[in-house]
């Protein structure tokens, strides 16, 4: 488990104290109001105060959730670990760390914390699955962040819809030290073992054909794409692991329901997390950033995420 940073610890402490203070004041006000109403009055008159009490408690709950979604959760990074065993490796374990949907903006958010976490995980490979930039002012910080990731076996990226549609005239990943994969495969070796990393640009038409990064039944194949929308097309082609993002896990979720919006053709089917589709393991990363304004700059029940996958011999 990754320990909280000092900033995260202080933020959570202050948030907890603020909520306790608000709740304490609200309860005090309610108790005083009920006491005043009950003096010399019938039980029926007292019961009439119940709706007002419930409304007050509901308002406090909503206020607390909004404060949490705005100030706490967007900066509270979750590291999700996944271990896969495969007969395609004989001796070596490959540690793959995935980031997605950084959405670097005018103001710094959690870029520095992400660098500390990822380098502390000591990955062999770092992969990034699109949507890196919200505003040009964040470009120098984005490139500096990407350059600081340490991965001895390579750093690989694919483009997202922001790079293809919003920043089509800007090479966002230039000077980032990441290799951008466009319909190609790179074989990464460690000792006598190897894995193949295949990446495709954003549009679904960019699924690699067999002559360009075709998948093999004899090696471990990692496929990178921005969205989960190709999973049912490639799951029967020998892909072992499919890493993507795009959905933000909904960014704002409801308890017991999950994402309200995913912008995926599958809707909520692959909104976040791990899914097994045929012989392929799909992981949909919730990403580190948020949609640009005017979208709400909040996360609720969809913490920013870094994914670490250990691919081990069986």
- From 39, 74, 109, the end of a domain falls on 74
| CA nearest neighbour of 189 among 151, 153, 149 | 153
Task: Please tell me the predicted confidence (pLDDT) of residue 49.
Answer: 63
With bands split at pLDDT 50, 70 and 90, how would you rate the model's confidence at 63? confident
What are the pLDDT digits (tens) for 72-123?
Answer: 999 999 999 999 999 999 999 999 999 999 999 999 999 999 999 999 999 9
| CA nearest neighbour of 199 among 232, 223, 230, 229 | 223
- From 50, 74, 98, the end of a domain falls on 74
If asked whether residues 261 and 290 sit together in one domain, one would say yes
What are the pLDDT digits (tens) for 144-189?
Answer: 999 999 999 999 999 999 999 999 999 999 999 999 999 899 999 9
Give the CATH number, domain containing residue 300: 3.60.21.10
If asked whether residues 172 and 252 sit together in one domain, one would say yes
If asked whether residues 42 and 66 sit together in one domain, one would say yes
| CA nearest neighbour of 73 among 112, 110, 21, 118 | 110
If asked whether residues 220 and 187 sit together in one domain, one would say yes
If asked whether residues 193 and 90 sit together in one domain, one would say yes
If asked whether residues 120 and 198 sit together in one domain, one would say yes
User: Is residue 1 assigned to a domain?
Assistant: no
d(CA 191, CA 193): 6
d(CA 287, CA 77): 10
φ, ψ (nearest 5 deg) of residue 40: 70, 20
Task: Please tell me the predicted confidence (pLDDT) of residue 211.
Answer: 45
- Please state whether 196 falls in left (phi above 0), alpha (psi between -120 and 50) or beta: beta
Q: Supply the DSSP symbol for 252.
A: B
The pTM (predicted TM-score) of the whole model is: 0.86
Query: Is residue 203 scored above 90 in pLDDT?
Result: no
- From 25, 59, 74, the end of a domain falls on 74
User: Is residue 41 assigned to a domain?
Assistant: yes
Beta pairing partners, 198:
185, 223
If asked whether residues 117 and 239 sit together in one domain, one would say yes
- Under a CB-based contact definition with an 8 Å cutoff, are residues 284 and 275 in contact? yes
| CA nearest neighbour of 79 among 35, 15, 123, 32 | 123
d(CA 80, CA 274): 10
Domain span holding position 42? 6-74
- Under a CB-based contact definition with an 8 Å cutoff, are residues 120 and 153 in contact? no
If asked whether residues 60 and 103 sit together in one domain, one would say no
Over pLDDT 90: what percentage of the chain?
A: 70
If asked whether residues 111 and 70 sit together in one domain, one would say no
Counting the structural domains of the chain, the total is: 2
If asked whether residues 279 and 142 sit together in one domain, one would say yes
If asked whether residues 142 and 49 sit together in one domain, one would say no
∠ CA 247-296-284, nearest 5°, is 15
């Amino acid at each position: 488990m990754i320990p909280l940073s000092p900033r995260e610890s202080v933020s959570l402490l202050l948030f907890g104290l603020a909520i306790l203070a608000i709740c304490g004041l609200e309860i005090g006000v309610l108790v005083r109001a009920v006491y005043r109403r009950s003096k010399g009055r019938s039980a029926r008159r007292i019961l009439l105060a119940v709706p007002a009490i419930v409304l007050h408690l509901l308002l406090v709950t909503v206020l607390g959730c909004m404060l949490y979604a705005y100030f706490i959760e967007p900066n509270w990074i979750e590291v999700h670990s996944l271990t896969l065993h495969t007969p395609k490796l004989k001796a070596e374990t490959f540690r793959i760390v995935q980031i997605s949907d950084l959405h670097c903006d005018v103001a710094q958010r959690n870029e520095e914390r992400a660098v500390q976490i990822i380098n502390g995980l000591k990955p062999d490979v770092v992969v990034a699955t699109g949507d890196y930039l919200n505003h040009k002012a964040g470009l120098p910080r984005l490139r500096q962040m990407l350059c600081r990731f340490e991965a001895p076996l390579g750093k690989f990226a694919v483009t997202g819809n922001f790079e293809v549609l919003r920043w089509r005239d800007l090479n966002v990943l230039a000077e980032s030290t990441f290799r951008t994969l466009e319909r190609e495969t790179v074989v990464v070796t460690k000792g006598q073992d190897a894995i193949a990393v295949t990446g495709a640009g954003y549009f679904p038409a960019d699924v690699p054909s067999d002559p360009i990064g075709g998948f093999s039944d004899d090696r471990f194949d990692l496929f990178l794409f921005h969205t989960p929308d190709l999973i049912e097309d490639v799951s029967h082609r020998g892909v072992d692991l499919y890493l993507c993002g795009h959905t933000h896990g909904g960014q704002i979720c409801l308890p017991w329901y999950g994402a309200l919006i995913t912008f995926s053709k599958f809707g909520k089917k692959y909104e976040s997390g791990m899914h097994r589709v045929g012989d392929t393991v799909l992981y949909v990363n919730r990403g580190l950033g948020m949609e640009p304004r005017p979208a709400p700059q909040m996360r609720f029940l969809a913490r920013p995420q870094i994914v670490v996958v250990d691919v081990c011999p069986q």
